[in-house]
Amino acid sequence: MKISAPRGTFDILPEEALRWRWLEAAIRRVFDYYGYQEIRTPVFEHTELFQRGIGETTDIVEKEMYTFNDKGGRSLTLRPEGTAPVVRSYVEHKLYSKGGITKLFYMGPMFRQERPQAGRFRQFHQFGVELLGTESPLTDAEVITVAVELYKELGLTDLEVLVNSIGCPACRKKYQEDLFSRLSSLQELCESCLRRLEKNPMRILDCKNPRCRELTKDVPAVTDYLCPACRDHLEKTLSFLDKAGIDYRLEPRLVRGFDYYTRTVFEVINAGLGAQNAVCGGGRYDHLVEEIGGPPMPGVGFASGMERLILTLEQQGKFAGFSSAPQVAFAVLDETLAADGFALATRLRREGLTVEACLEVKSLKAQMRAAGKLQAKFVVILGEDEWKDGQVSVRRMADGEQWRVDREEVCRFIKDLLDRDSSGREQERGSFS
Ligand code: HAM
C-alpha cells in the first residue's frame, strides 16, 4: 500500500520551493529594513503554554491542538501559532532586561487540526513579528505598516486592511455583559455561538454563519464601549496610519480568536481567496508576558500565512517567468573528456555561473535534448579535436548560434553574452538577492 502525506499537509516540490525561497528572501529583506531580529523557537512546547497564553476557551485550545504525551509522561503540543512561544522565550531568556523595545521576527511551520479546505491546512507556515516593551500606539502603527509595506514589496494589490480595538479587560467586561444580556435569549444561534455566549460572547461577532451574522447585525460596536485611554490609543494608532499613507477600514466586528488580545486587532484580507481570506492577523497583547510569568510588559505583533500569500501571488501573476534554469549546461562527446568537462564545469561554478555538469556521457543529440529540457541558456560542448586545440564550443540555445572559444576564456565569453542579455538574467537570478 502506498503511503501519502497526512491529510491537511503537503510537500513543497522543487518548482514550488523556488517560489517559497523567493518569498522567504523578500520577507527577510523587509524585516531587515525595519530592524526586526530573527528568533527560532522549538516546534513543540509544554501544552500549558498555549492553554495559558491563547486561552482555554478558544477554538484552537479546545479543538485544534496536536497534543501528545512524551515517554516521560509530559504533555507537549505542536505549536499552533508563534506568539506564545516567542513570548515564552522572551521571558525565559529575560530579553526584557536590556530595557527598551525588543523587535523579533520568526518564520516556520505551525500545526492546527482544522478541517482542511482551500487555504486551510493542518501544517501551514507563518512568518510574523512581535514587538515588546511599549504601549505606544506608534508601535501598533508600525507593525501594521511592516505587513502592508511587505505586501507592497511583493507587488501585491487589492488587499484590504481591517482594524479595530477590543479595549482593555475593564472596558471589555461591560461590553461582554451587555452582549450577553442582548443575545442570551437567541436560541437560533449556531452551536458554537451558544457555547461562546457563556464563555466569551464577543467571539460571536467572529462567526461566519450567515444566520448568526443576521441575528447579531444590530449589536453595538465594541468601540462604543472603549474607556478614554483605549479610545485615545485607537485614535492615535489610526492617525499614525493616516499620516504614513496606510489605507485601512475600521471594522467594529473584528474581534479575533485569541484571549491574549487587548486594544488593537487587525487583519489583512484578500477577498479573492474565498472563505479563508485572511493573509495576516495580529494585534496588541498587553498582559501576555505577565500571564507567561514575566514582568508587566506590553506587546504587539502579527502573523501572516505563507500558503495564502503564495496563492495570492499566483492569482496576481507574480510568478510568471520564474525559472530555475541553469545558465550553462555541459555536453561531453567522449568518455575520455569526462574528467576535463567536470573540472571545467566546477571552474565555471566557482566563477559564479549556474552550471549543470555532464554527469552521463551520451550522444550529442541526447545531451542537447537534455540541455533543452533544462532550459539552459548556453551549452559548452567538449569534442576531442577542439579540446586538443585548447578550445570548446559554446552554443546559444535561443538561436542555435555557436562559437569556438579558447577554454581559458570560456567563462568570460559566456558572462559577456549574459551581460548583453541582462534583462532575462535579472529575472531569473535577481529574484534571489
Ligand atoms: P492567526 O490569525 O491565527 O493569528 O493566524 C495568522 C495567519 O496565519 C492567518 O491570517 C492565516 O493567513 C494563517 N493561518 C492561520 N491558520 C491557518 C491554517 N490552518 N492554514 C493556513 N493558514 C493559516 C496568529 O496566529 C497570531 N499568533 C498572530 C499574532 C502575532 N498576533 C500577535 N502577534
pLDDT 10s per residue in the chain (433 long)?
A: 899 999 999 999 999 999 999 999 999 999 999 999 999 999 999 999 999 999 988 999 999 999 999 999 999 999 999 999 999 999 999 999 999 999 999 999 999 999 999 999 999 999 999 999 999 999 999 999 999 999 999 999 999 999 999 999 999 999 999 999 999 888 889 988 988 888 889 999 988 889 999 999 999 999 999 999 999 999 999 999 999 999 999 999 999 989 999 999 999 999 989 989 999 999 999 999 999 999 999 999 999 999 999 999 999 999 988 888 999 999 999 999 999 999 999 999 999 999 999 999 999 999 999 999 999 999 999 999 999 999 999 999 999 999 999 999 999 999 999 999 875 444 444 343 3
Question: For ligand 1, what atom is nearest to the CA of residue 112?
Answer: 19
Closest C-alpha residue for ligand 1 atom 21: 120
Q: What are phi and psi of 206, to 5 degrees?
A: -85, -10
Q: What are phi and psi of 377, to 5 degrees?
A: -80, -40
Closest C-alpha residue for ligand 1 atom 25: 81
Residue 67, all three cell numbers:
497534543
The residue to mutate among 10, 104, 124, 263, having the most atoms of ligand 1 within 8 angstroms of its beta carbon, is 124
Q: How far is the CA of 73 from the centre of ligand 1 (A)?
A: 30
Q: Indicate if ligand 1 lies below 6 Å from the C-beta of 137.
A: no
Q: Indicate if ligand 1 lies below 6 Å from the C-beta of 301.
A: yes
Q: What are phi and psi of 299, to 5 degrees?
A: -155, 165
Please give the single-letter amino acid code of residue 294: G
Contacts of 29 (CB under 8 A, 6+ apart): 153, 433
| pLDDT value, residue 424 | 46
Q: How far is the CA of 303 from the centre of ligand 1 (A)?
A: 6
Q: Indicate if ligand 1 lies below 6 Å from the C-beta of 125.
A: no
Q: Indicate if ligand 1 lies below 6 Å from the C-beta of 121.
A: yes
Closest C-alpha residue for ligand 1 atom 22: 305
Alpha carbon distance 370, 377 (integer Å): 12
Q: Indicate if ligand 1 lies below 6 Å from the C-beta of 289.
A: no
Nearest to 432 by CA among 6, 23, 4: 23
Q: Indicate if ligand 1 lies below 6 Å from the C-beta of 279.
A: yes
E-assigned strand segments in 134-290: 160-165, 249-250, 262-269, 278-284
Residue 356, all three cell numbers:
549543470
Q: How far is the CA of 202 from the centre of ligand 1 (A)?
A: 19
User: pLDDT tens digits, residue range 203-217?
Assistant: 999 888 899 999 999
Q: What are phi and psi of 34, to 5 degrees?
A: -90, 0
DSSP letter at 337?
A: G
Q: How far is the CA of 344 from the centre of ligand 1 (A)?
A: 49
Please give the single-letter amino acid code of residue 149: E
Phi-psi region of 339 (alpha: psi -120 to 50; beta: other; left: phi over 0): alpha
| pLDDT value, residue 112 | 98
Closest C-alpha residue for ligand 1 atom 17: 120
Q: Indicate if ligand 1 lies below 6 Å from the C-beta of 286.
A: no
Alpha carbon distance 65, 71 (integer Å): 19
Q: How far is the CA of 34 from the centre of ligand 1 (A)?
A: 21
Alpha carbon distance 419, 358 (integer Å): 24
Q: Indicate if ligand 1 lies below 6 Å from the C-beta of 387.
A: no
Q: Indicate if ligand 1 lies below 6 Å from the C-beta of 259.
A: no
Count CB neighbours of 240 within 10 A. 19
Q: Indicate if ligand 1 lies below 6 Å from the C-beta of 112.
A: yes
Question: For ligand 1, what atom is nearest to the CA of residue 279?
Answer: 12
Closest C-alpha residue for ligand 1 atom 2: 281
Q: How far is the CA of 280 from the centre of ligand 1 (A)?
A: 6
Count CB neighbours of 47 within 10 A. 17
Count CB neighbours of 181 within 10 A. 9
Nearest to 304 by CA among 432, 161, 141: 161
> CA-based angle 321:326:331, to the nearest 5?
135
Question: For ligand 1, what atom is nearest to the CA of residue 268?
Answer: 10
Q: Indicate if ligand 1 lies below 6 Å from the C-beta of 261.
A: no
Q: How far is the CA of 307 from the centre of ligand 1 (A)?
A: 11
- pTM higher than the cut 0.85: yes
Alpha carbon distance 386, 384 (integer Å): 6
Closest C-alpha residue for ligand 1 atom 30: 302
Q: Indicate if ligand 1 lies below 6 Å from the C-beta of 307.
A: yes
E-assigned strand segments in 138-297: 160-165, 249-250, 262-269, 278-284
| pLDDT value, residue 422 | 72
Please give the single-letter amino acid code of residue 13: L
Q: How far is the CA of 300 from the centre of ligand 1 (A)?
A: 14
Closest C-alpha residue for ligand 1 atom 11: 305
| pLDDT value, residue 426 | 46
| pLDDT value, residue 323 | 86
> CA-based angle 219:222:227, to the nearest 5?
140
Please give the single-letter amino acid code of residue 175: Y
